[in-house]
Structure 1
Amino acid sequence: MLDLRGYGWMLWDGLQITILVGICSMAVALLLGLIGAWGKLSKSKIAQGLAGTYTTVIRGIPELLLILIVYYGAPTLIQNIAARFGHDVIIDVNPFLAGFITLGFIYGAFTTEVFRGAFLAIPSGQIEAARAIGMSRTLAFRRVILPQVWRFALPGLGNVWMVLIKATALISVIQLPELMRNADVAARAVRLPFTFFFAASLLYLGITIVSMLIQQRAETWANRGVRRA
């Protein structure tokens, strides 16, 4: 890491926080995506309605606005309500926790559509064949459906990850010392905004390139043994 007038370490520390936030957010997004896809494909009207409302609302509100609501708006609202009932409550929200949960909740809406498309891409005949040879629904899901869902979903999930890792820059507004926040602090300290922001952009680009290589390897592994037309 370049010294950058003694502030290069801040970019390195920020990069680690950015990657950690991205991984935690993606884990939340995958979980919510699977639940959301199940809801959208469910025969239950309630589940369909809840999943549809979730994806529509989340995809229709800017990410930055949701981050501000979760970190600043919700705690203030709760404190004001408690004050009306005579209680003095102070809510101190952890910026890391608020950041990755909010991003995970946001991008869970996008992974919902990715998983829904992956489930629909599986030929129904394979599921019927699995049931015909005596597989239970759980066994058929584990051995027939889930492996193919991941294969079909990998390209879309890779795109979600690429967008998510760039969106981590938004959580700089809640004072989390991730890459964008630290680059801004360092740039102001030594008055070299172009140098630090350009260095930060190269680091984001580096994450993207490494992610693309990992995604290509994962797709190759997932498609092993698949006959190409």
Structure 2
Amino acid sequence: MNWLSLLGFGAQGWSDELLKGAWLSIEISVSAYLIGLILGLFGAIAKQSKSVVARSVASTYTTVIRSVPDILVIFLIYYSATDALSYLLSMSGLSVQFQLNGFVAAAIALGVVQGGYSTEVLRGAIVAVARGQTEAAFAVGLTRKQTFFLVIIPQMLPLALPGLGNLWLIVLKESSLVSLIGFTELVLVGKMAAGATRHYLLFYAAVGVVFLVMSGVSSLVFHYFEVKASHAWRRT
């Protein structure tokens, strides 16, 4: 069987499975990225807080995340999160039995990792906004909450986009790590196809090309938004 047949669609080819795996990789990456942005925003706010406790918690979180291997975080969440949540529920008087599935575990684990790096990217963007903007907002009567959402966020986004774009590319590649917990994303599908056909170079190269295409398209999308945000910021 030639390589065109192996990469074809239908019963004889593996392209159907590769595309499904690629889509699952994207779903995991998007979910983890959004979780990471939420955690990163809270972390960045905490690091700028006047509360010593909030700053300490945020600093500890980012330090641990940047020091511990990502795969270890995935293993910890996948293999221990279910027991931990069951224990917490039992302490509240609820006896609920459940199992954290691979997709949720992967999204949470990668999201927690992304949150650590997003915290630093967003914190740097917040710090880069001129202090005079905040002072001017307070002078016209805006509250701290209104100032953050109406003044700081619109100005920090153009500054944060390049870093956030890099983090997206990182989480897209790191989605391959969830194959180690048996989740059938793109890399695991490629490994299965290579093992079944003994065409290792063909399928691993195909997986690499798919990742390259996804990364290239993502870079173009982020570049578009960076240019639009930069033009809007200059006009402002």
State if a TM-score over 0.5 links the two structures. yes
- Give the distance between the partners of 1:135 and 1:90, measured in 2 at CA: 47
- 1:158 aligned partner, one-letter code: G
Residue 223 of structure 1: SS of its match in structure 2?
helix
Alpha-carbon distance change, 93 to 142 in structure 1, aligned in 2, over 3 angstroms? closer
- Give the distance between the partners of 1:78 and 1:150, measured in 2 at CA: 35
Unaligned stretches of 5+ in structure 1?
A: 81-88
- 1:3 aligned partner, one-letter code: G
1:13 matches 2:24: no
- Give the distance between the partners of 2:103 and 2:41, measured in 1 at CA: 24
- Give the distance between the partners of 1:73 and 1:192, measured in 2 at CA: 36
Residue 134 of structure 1: SS of its match in structure 2?
coil
- Tell me which residue corresponds to 1:83: none
1:1-229 superposed matches below 5 A: 2-3=7-8, 5-75=12-82, 92-227=99-234
- Give the distance between the partners of 1:196 and 1:190, measured in 2 at CA: 9
- 1:16 aligned partner, one-letter code: W
- 2:124 aligned partner, one-letter code: G
Unaligned stretches of 5+ in structure 2?
A: 88-95
The share of aligned pairs that are identical, in percent, is: 39
- Give the distance between the partners of 2:232 and 2:81, measured in 1 at CA: 50
2:40 touches 2:122 (CA, 8 Å); kept in 1?
yes
Q: How many residues align?
A: 221
- Give the distance between the partners of 1:147 and 1:219, measured in 2 at CA: 13
- Give the distance between the partners of 2:22 and 2:99, measured in 1 at CA: 25
- 1:100 aligned partner, one-letter code: A
2:81 touches 2:100 (CA, 8 Å); kept in 1?
no
- Give the distance between the partners of 2:161 and 2:79, measured in 1 at CA: 35
- Give the distance between the partners of 1:11 and 1:135, measured in 2 at CA: 52
- Give the distance between the partners of 1:226 and 1:94, measured in 2 at CA: 43
Q: Offset at 1:218?
A: 0.6
Residue 183 of structure 1: SS of its match in structure 2?
helix
Residue 155 of structure 1: SS of its match in structure 2?
helix
Q: What is the TM-score with the length of structure 2 in the denominator? A: 0.87
